[in-house]
């Protein structure tokens, strides 16, 4: 677990929602709504919201799946506390402050795992995907929203301009933590491309990997299935 990343999110927690909506011109809400919609129609009773942050996805999941239990995991208590109000009326949301690399959760105990803009922050990518795979039931779904390293086109131009000059400046000014918003941008350039991440998923027991560009490839949504067990 990275103490530096944990400290960073703890420091920006009070301003996280405001800055997210402001820097994305509220498009982030649409991305999350759309992601929750992708799971619609599935029979989900236990859902893990990994790197749940201020609980926007958890809130959406509870609305879409009123009979499901949602376990929201994040290693920054301040992020979870900032969002607690959003799920306060639900008895079905369980907040858990824990490291995503080592989840205190049983094997094969979730029908779905969602991770919104968190997978890039889990420093050991291999360990993180193994943990997700472990807690998912065979046939269960993994849904990821993330900013992958752009390889060209509109997304690359966006990151070289708005991402490079506006986000660190504005984010730094409002959060009073310029390092945090610089880190968030730099971490995109150091992260996998969407193609590399698809390969990681396939190499780690996921199949039916579907990806969707969001806003011209600025973000991506991935839906993948934990390959069912083959009985001999």
Ligand X SMILES: C[S@@+](CC[C@H](N)C(=O)[O-])C[C@H]1O[C@@H](n2cnc3c(N)ncnc32)[C@H](O)[C@@H]1O
- The dihedral through the CA atoms of 83, 17, 73, 34 has a sign that is positive
User: Is there binding between residue 74 and ligand X (CB under 6 A)?
Assistant: yes
Closest CA to 215 of 127, 175, 155: 155
| Cα separation, 129 vs 201, whole angstroms | 8
CB 63 within 8 A of CB 92: no
Contact region with ligand X (CB under 6 A), list: 36-44, 47-55, 164-172, 214-222: 47-55
| Cα separation, 169 vs 51, whole angstroms | 25
User: Is there binding between residue 56 and ligand X (CB under 6 A)?
Assistant: yes
Taking CB atoms, the residue at the shortest distance from ligand X is: 53
Q: Which is nearer to ligand X, 106 or 230 (CB)?
A: 106
User: Is there binding between residue 57 and ligand X (CB under 6 A)?
Assistant: yes
Options 44, 52, 70, 143; binder of ligand X; rule CB under 6 A: 52
Binding characters for ligand X, 94-133, by CB under 6 A (x = yes): -----xxx--------------xxx--xx-----------
| Cα separation, 62 vs 9, whole angstroms | 24
Closest CA to 6 of 78, 87, 75, 97: 75
Nearest approach in angstroms of CB 21 to ligand X is 10
User: Is there binding between residue 144 and ligand X (CB under 6 A)?
Assistant: no
- With CB under 6 A, what is the number of residues at the site for ligand X? 20
User: Is there binding between residue 60 and ligand X (CB under 6 A)?
Assistant: no
CB 155 within 8 A of CB 163: no
Q: In the complex, which residues of this chain contact ligand X (CB under 6 A)?
A: 1, 5, 9, 51-53, 56-57, 74-76, 79, 99-101, 116-118, 121-122
């Amino acid at each position: 677990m990275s103490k530096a990343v944990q400290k960073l999110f703890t420091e920006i927690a009070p301003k996280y929602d405001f800055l997210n909506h402001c820097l994305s011109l509220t498009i982030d809400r649409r991305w999350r709504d759309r992601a929750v919609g992708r799971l619609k129609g599935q029979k989900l009773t236990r859902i893990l919201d990994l790197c749940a942050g201020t609980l926007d996805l958890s809130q959406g999941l509870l609305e879409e799946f009123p009979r499901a239990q949602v376990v929201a995991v994040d290693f920054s208590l301040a992020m979870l506390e900032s969002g607690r109000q959003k799920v306060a009326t639900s008895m079905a949301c369980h907040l858990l402050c824990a490291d995503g690399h080592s989840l205190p959760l049983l094997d094969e105990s979730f029908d779905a795992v969602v991770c919104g803009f968190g997978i890039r922050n889990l420093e050991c990518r291999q360990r993180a995907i193994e943990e997700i795979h472990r807690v998912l039931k065979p046939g269960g779904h993994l849904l990821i929203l993330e900013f992958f390293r752009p390889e060209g086109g509109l997304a690359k131009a966006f990151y070289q301009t708005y991402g490079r000059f506006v986000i660190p400046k504005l984010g730094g000014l409002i959060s009073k933590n310029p390092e945090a918003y610089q880190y968030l941008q730099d971490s995109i350039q150091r992260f996998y491309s969407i193609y590399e991440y698809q390969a990681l998923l396939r190499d780690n027991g996921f199949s039916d990997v579907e990806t969707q560009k969001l806003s011209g490839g600025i973000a991506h949504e991935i839906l993948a299935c934990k390959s069912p067990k083959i009985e001999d």
